[in-house]
Every structure is written in C-alpha cells, then in structure tokens.
Amino acid sequence: MFNQQTINEHIILSHPEYSAQVSLNWFDNEYWQQQEKIVGTKKGRATAWFFCHHDLTAVLRHYWRGGLVGKVLSDQYLYRGIKNTRVYQEFALMMQLIELGLNVPMPIAAKISVQGLIYRGDIITQAITGAQSVLDVLKTRPLTKQELEQIAHTIADFHNHGVYHADLNINNILFDETGEVYIIDFDRGELKPPASHWQQANMTRLARSFHKEQGRNQVMHWQPSDWQQLHTAYQSTLKI
C-alpha cells in the first residue's frame, strides 16, 4: 500500500509514486526555503509550509500537541511501536481513503523520529489546487444552495464509508478551484462501522465550528437556515 524505510532513528513512509524522491530533507522547511521552493504558509496551531518541487505542490506539517499537555511536551509523543503512532495511523488512513475514491489530498510522505521512549512526527500531503476553506468563503460571501449541498453530500459520503473525522470543522473542509469539496486533517481519524452516534457527533462538532467562527469574525455570511439546509441535504444522502 505504501513504502517504509528506516534512516538512522527516522522511519520514512512514502507513497509509491514518490518513494524514489523522498529524503529527510523533504521534512525540513529550511531546506525548501534555501531551495526557494516555499510558495506559501498557513498559520494554525502551527505553521503549514507549502512547497513546489517539479510538478508537485505539497504541504509540510509538523505534529504538535494541543491543550495543557502541549504546553509541557509540545511535539513529543510516547512511542509504543510504529503502528501506534499518530503519524503512521493518519498516513495509512489517508492511503485507504484515496483507494476508496474519497476526496482527500494524496499523502506523499511522513516521518516518525524516534528517540528512546518518545517520537516526533511530520507529514507531507499534496496541496489542493486553488483551495479555499469554508471559513475563507464565508468571510467574503454566503454559500450557495449548491455549495451547501456539496458539503453535505461529501460528508455523508465519508460517513457512509465509515470515516470518522476527529475534528470536523469549517477550516478542514475545502473547495478546490473547480468547486469540488475536499476534507483534510485526519489526525486521530479512523475507519469504523457506520453508526448514528459518532456520525451525529461529527455533525454537532461541525455545527459548533460555524457558531464559534461567527463569534470570532466580524464579518461572516452565515445564518441558522443555512445549517438547516446543509443538515437536511446530509440526512438525505446518509444511508444509515
């Protein structure tokens, strides 16, 4: 499904298409800056680095801990074997989602750096061409009826395939340049039997993110009727 190699204390996972090219340098944003190949950044909990290499435009993201634990350990995780790392699990899940034909970025490579009982991680995914998050759009204009339905149908498609997203929010739902909807950031996500309890929990989290961002932004083109329309379209596509 994907390739795995070990270089010193680093374990590298890579998509077969890119295995011959990937090196440790790929996970170093300073390397790409020196090559003058950084084409953008995006701030979140940490910076995501966009780089362009030959015909590939990709996103490099480091794994950082959140919450109170993150203030102490920042980017350190307890190592209990490669398959138990968040890095391996996210990369493997994204490979499965690609094989299922779902709209996610192609996973390019990932690195797990092990030092004794701890590890740190990085992941590289293909950038979505012309990507705009749902939040980006709402800051400038309302979503159209078609866009609301596209979001709803995409989420339902993921749920029908048993895809649980640990942090479904309006920053993780993107439109590409053609208007196709993609979902990103599958850290702590998993495949599980479709069931209404976790599917509705995903939707509740998404609804909270609309309200949360509406409180944060002075201008956001969103109203309760939009959610009703989105949720109705979602339920009409859901199989369970």
Domain locations in the chain? 3-126, 132-237
pLDDT of residue 68: 53
pLDDT of residue 142: 98
Catalytic position from the list 75, 136, 157, 167: 167
**Residues in the chain with pLDDT < 70?**
45, 67-73
pLDDT of residue 71: 52
pLDDT of residue 72: 55
pLDDT in tens, 157-215: 999 999 999 999 999 999 999 999 999 999 999 999 999 999 999 999 999 999 999 99
Six token digits for residue 33: 């800056």
Of 100, 113, 108, 134, the closest CA to residue 55 belongs to 108
Q: Measure the CA–CA gap between 85 and 91, rounded to whole angstroms.
A: 10
pLDDT of residue 79: 97
DSSP code, position 24 = G
pTM of the model: 0.94
Helix or strand or coil: residue 48?
strand
CATH architecture assignment, domain 132-237 = Orthogonal Bundle (1.10)
Q: Measure the CA–CA gap between 89 and 83, rounded to whole angstroms.
A: 7
Mean pLDDT of the chain: 95
Of 210, 211, 220, the closest CA to residue 151 belongs to 210
Q: Measure the CA–CA gap between 192 and 240, rounded to whole angstroms.
A: 13
pLDDT of residue 48: 94
pLDDT of residue 70: 46
> How far lies 34's CA from each of 30, 53, 94, 127, 155, in Å?
6, 13, 30, 20, 39
CATH number belonging to domain 3-126:
3.30.200
Tokens 């439109």 locate to 175
Q: Is 167 a catalytic residue?
A: yes
